[in-house]
Structure 1
Amino acid sequence: MASMAGKVAIVTGASSGIGRATAIAFGRAGATVVVVARRPDKGEETVQQIKAAQGKAMFIQADVTQASDLEAMVKQTVETYGRLDYAFNNAGSGTSGKLADLSEADWDFEINANLKSVWLSMKYEIPAMQQSGGGAIVNTSSQGALLGVAGYGAYGAAKAGVIALSRAAAAEYSSDRIRINTVSPGAVKTDLWAAAPPEMLDQVAAGIPLQRIGRPEDIAEAVVWLCSEGAGFVTGHNLVVDGGFTAVQK
């Protein structure tokens, strides 16, 4: 993979899990990384890990459901580094519940956290990339956008919306040399799995063709590749990284 030296990447939801692993991967590839999260302590931990690996990074606190925070995020990035080349819009949240049991507030939370946040992020990132002469954006969708998962209907709907939104954006901004793709992780061993009993993890892994649960680094490598020149002819694509789980579903 070609070096990303001299490039600038924003990663939202970078305080842990997939976001943190991707921020670190961008740093190792040579990019300067803007670590974005709600939790300053965890976000600064990510910055320190990037710097420990000889990378460059800074932290910006932001709530991705707030337009003013995202506008400020991009403004501060460009003011500090002069450009924006890559963005991984990863921050989101998932709650469970059958559709008829959800409150309107529950529904709005899912859409705001997982879909509106992606639109808002791109709304401010795209003009900055136009000024930089192009760029690449990866938005986080989910295996749940492709499968019917009981109890996660609102989440799945939002994540499916991310795929449709990203494809439309890819069509709209290809002439500006901005490539826009999505990544759909399957089961990945993040903090959410930390308290799960080993037998549960074994059961989940047994249902995956590659016979293991994913690592945050598996998703990180996919995202960095999608932003790299190696994926220079890839746009409007949803890359499923799930160990083959969706491929074998009937």
Structure 2
Amino acid sequence: MTLLAGQVALITGASGGLGHGIALRFAQEGAQVALHCRTGGAAVRDLARRLVGSGSRVVVLQADLSRPQECRRLVREAAEWGGGRLTALVNTAGVQPVQPLEAMTAADWRTVVDTNLTSVFACTQAAAEVMREQRGGPGAGRAGGPGGTVTHIASVEARMPAEGHAHYSASKAAVVAHARAAAREYGAWGIRVNTVSPGLIEREGLAEAWPEGVRRWREAVAVGRLGRPEDVGDACVFLASPLASWITGHDLVVDGGASARTTW
């Protein structure tokens, strides 16, 4: 399958498990992929070697996305690597600390908001400028063709915050609102903007670190298992593909049906 053949995609936070799964699915669907990392360079370079070995064109780029000027530099370098093109951006990079409100400082709040929200704003703004100039590229579906797609990784906690996650949940709710606003303003430029809101995603050591939480999630999920990074990657591939050419400003919940469970 090559739903994304000819596309040039930038995946932020590709050194994490979620970003890893998204990048893998984009490469498998034929996209050229720029992998961003802030730290964790060894993990992302190992992923890059695997993808190159499978025939994909890949580059690793490093940037601190809590700094808007670094976001702009990252997008510029990805587009230059792509021959002046960038057709898809997936904003995956983020942090999820656990901290009660009573102990939270303004600095703690700003760290989460700058990483999870301000970086989304800055990367999207920079990418939109590139995408505006390339209408009629791969995936063109209307007169002039779309300039590209942007997908933010939000969370089910945007609607259902957990204790100790006030800053995280607020930042993810704002990410959903940003996507809707950006979809309206950038639609005239041929750019679609959506969010994907995952539920609990499996990762190494999770069951040992949070056994009670994992048990509760498995009981709540209609399909009987936790999510996998590739499940979120599939949703992102769909939103970046021509199959979603009339979808923008939408929040796609990927939680195995957990949010459909009744509370009584």
TM-score, normalization by structure 2: 0.90
SS in 1 for 2:133: helix
User: What's the offset of the Cα at 1:208?
Assistant: 1.4
- The 5-angstrom pairing of residues 50-199 of structure 1 reads 50-81=51-82, 82-133=84-135, 134-191=147-204, 193=206, 195-196=208-209
When structure 1 is superposed on structure 2, of 192-201 and 65-74 the one drifting more is: 192-201
Cα distance change on mapping 1:192 and 1:87 into 2, 3 Å: farther
User: What's the offset of the Cα at 1:195?
Assistant: 4.2
Cα distance change on mapping 1:191 and 1:27 into 2, 3 Å: same
1:70 partner amino acid: C
The 8 Å contact of residues 2 and 229 in structure 1, kept in 2 or not, is answered as no
SS in 2 for 1:206: helix
When structure 1 is superposed on structure 2, of 141-150 and 235-244 the one drifting more is: 141-150
Q: Structure 1 CA distance, aligned partners of 2:15 and 2:208?
A: 19
1:109 partner amino acid: T
Structure 1 unaligned runs (5+)? none
The 8 Å contact of residues 68 and 118 in structure 2, kept in 1 or not, is answered as no
The 8 Å contact of residues 17 and 191 in structure 1, kept in 2 or not, is answered as no
1:19 partner amino acid: G
Aligned to 2:140: none
SS in 2 for 1:132: coil
User: What's the offset of the Cα at 1:230?
Assistant: 0.4
Q: How many residues align?
A: 250
User: What's the offset of the Cα at 1:122?
Assistant: 0.6
Q: Structure 1 CA distance, aligned partners of 2:67 and 2:28?
A: 30
Q: Structure 2 CA distance, aligned partners of 1:214 and 1:35?
A: 22
Match of 1:231 among 244, 252, 257: 244
User: What's the offset of the Cα at 1:79?
Assistant: 1.7
Q: Structure 2 CA distance, aligned partners of 1:164 and 1:246?
A: 19
SS in 2 for 1:225: helix
Q: Structure 2 CA distance, aligned partners of 1:192 and 1:52?
A: 28
Q: Structure 2 CA distance, aligned partners of 1:217 and 1:45?
A: 17
Q: Structure 1 CA distance, aligned partners of 2:116 and 2:210?
A: 28
Q: Structure 1 CA distance, aligned partners of 2:74 and 2:182?
A: 20
Structure 2 unaligned runs (5+)? 136-146
Aligned to 2:42: 41
Q: Structure 1 CA distance, aligned partners of 2:219 and 2:183?
A: 36
TM-score, normalization by structure 1: 0.95
Q: Structure 2 CA distance, aligned partners of 1:43 and 1:2?
A: 23
1:53 partner amino acid: S
The 8 Å contact of residues 149 and 191 in structure 2, kept in 1 or not, is answered as yes
> Residue by residue, what CA displacement relative to the aligned partner does 1:157-186 show, whole Å, maximum 9, x if unpaired?
010000001100000011111000000000
Aligned to 1:15: 15
User: What's the offset of the Cα at 1:249?
Assistant: 4.4
Cα distance change on mapping 1:102 and 1:129 into 2, 3 Å: same
SS in 2 for 1:179: strand
Question: For the aligned residues, what is the CA RMSD?
Answer: 1.6
Q: Structure 2 CA distance, aligned partners of 1:197 and 1:118?
A: 29
Percent identical: 35
SS in 1 for 2:107: helix
